[in-house]
A and B are shown apart, each in its own frame.
Chain A
Amino acid sequence: MSEAPQHRANWWRVFGAPIVVGVLSLAGLLSALLAGDPGRYFSWFALGVPLAIAAWAYLRKA
């Protein structure tokens, strides 16, 4: 489950998800500052993504 199906290093496979999480985090940090109430709600979602990923990794069966 945890090992990649093909043992071939692929830059996008390794860094793709972290980049998406990073962009969402940055958008969340700025949206609460710049976009009023909608921005505040979006920030909760965007900055909550890392928490959701960690919870998913913790609860997922090995």
Chain B
Amino acid sequence: MIPGYDLTPPDPKAVRELRLEIEEFHAAYCWTLDRGAIEKWPDFFTDDALYRITGRENAEVALPVGLVYAEGKAMIRDRAFAIARTQMFAPRYMQHFVSNVRVVAAQESAIKAQSNYLLLQTLMEGPTTIHQSGRYYDSFARQGGRLLLSERQCVYDTLIIPNDLIYPV
């Protein structure tokens, strides 16, 4: 669906350690967003990273639009700053759940994985609702021994967004 991820995956047993490392990455990433530390969110990306959120109806036919489309960490920072400090929206809590992590490429020069995500949202006087069900298509670079996202494409199935999507996925 996203070019570059339709690879023949390596034997899962051979890449267990890498999968574990990616799962730990997801846990740290989600913890940062879910506790509201949005201005720390850009730290998970390389300087030239692409971050895009798009509906599955677009991804399946290679339409390029992004609900969010950031080229480079500077644009990612600008979004984090805007959401954290200047945008007007009702308060809410978000929780991410990431599972089904599949390593699809495991060379140190090209680490790619895809994972399912579920994003729950709770408005102050609302129920907790599934805000988005989707899949991450991730490319990682290792810098200073640490994994960083050089690309994260979030493809959501929930085509009709409940009003809006404020925080990053």
A binds B: no
